[in-house]
A and B are shown apart, each in its own frame.
Chain A
């Protein structure tokens, strides 16, 4: 398995534009997580899905952020409109419910909003 795959690796966009981050979890994993890493807050959980259903989105900063998981092999995190304070590294991770307690992370998307 190739692991969790995120795209793009880097994204630079202008304030006000829509940004879409993509994630392909490890096949067979039941859980998918979106995290944001910043210097001040470390790794913040934004939202997670179980069997494609959003379970907890309490970490989503505001209505400008939305996430979807239309099927077991794909998820998106969208920011519309983007703002400079959204600049961060966004990680997607997946895990198995029953077996592991550990989550497997993708390489992240570094987002810069100018």
Chain B
């Protein structure tokens, strides 16, 4: 079955960096895209970034553009999110979610999420 497993969350000081990973399995990684979506405590969903399986077609939300970098390794079926210059407002559960490109079924499978806490 489709599995997305996030890792790399933790507590980090403001201004520091953290790298999240999303390991995908149970489906053909090629012809898919992976999105990162975050949810601050008690708040709604916020789209962060997305990348195609081959590392192309990258997009970011304005709130992370220039600070975060998304990448895809389709030899490892893994997508990473490098988060730099972290701020308190980046504190959230970070989910990765799949999109099947041919079907256009964005967010059709989700991981369990990894918590990032930015605090001094």
- A and B together in one complex: no
B residues bordering A, Cβ < 8 Å? none
A residues bordering B, Cβ < 8 Å? none
